[in-house]
Amino acid sequence: MSLNNFWGLIMNKTKIITIASTATMALAMLPITTHASATVPSKMRGAWYQNLSSVKRSNRTYVKMTTHSISYGSNASHSDFAGSNLRVAKLKQGWYRIGPKAFSIGDFKVKKVKIAGKYNTSLLQRYMAKSHYAEVFVRDHVALPLNDANYFLK
């Protein structure tokens, strides 16, 4: 092998390494995209409360849902789940499992429920799939009598 062939071979390898490293650096500088987080169904978004007359307005239980987050609890103690920690799974009969990926806070469904003799759009929450009862959450302006706070699932 002549000296010219030897240097030509080294120069070709150097060009290949330079091109490869430049391409790697260019790819590394591209913005990182993450998977879109779970999306809460639009009919469930907003603030839902248990407006019981026996509970102070500041201590009532609530569920607040946005497109990609859920806040659940009361002013004294609540949990927020969003982004990659949020799970939304569609179940049978219109139920959705919405909450953190690690554990379940229950299943949710929007349904017209008769409250104090009048039908209101309500958010139902059941804690187990085979549960016979669900807790009722309503919008802020609807008073919720204690006897209508639970809904019997047929």
| One-character DSSP codes across 1-41 | --HHHHHHHHHHHHHHHHHHHHHHHHHHTSPP--PPPP---
Q: Which of 16-20, 52-56, 60-64, 128-132 has the lowest mean pLDDT?
A: 16-20
Q: State mean pLDDT over 58-71.
A: 92
CA–CA separation, 69 and 46 (whole Å)? 11
Give the pLDDT score at 48.
96
Report residue 113's pLDDT band, with 50, 70 and 90 as the boundaries.
very high
pTM of the model: 0.73
Domain boundaries, the chain: 42-152
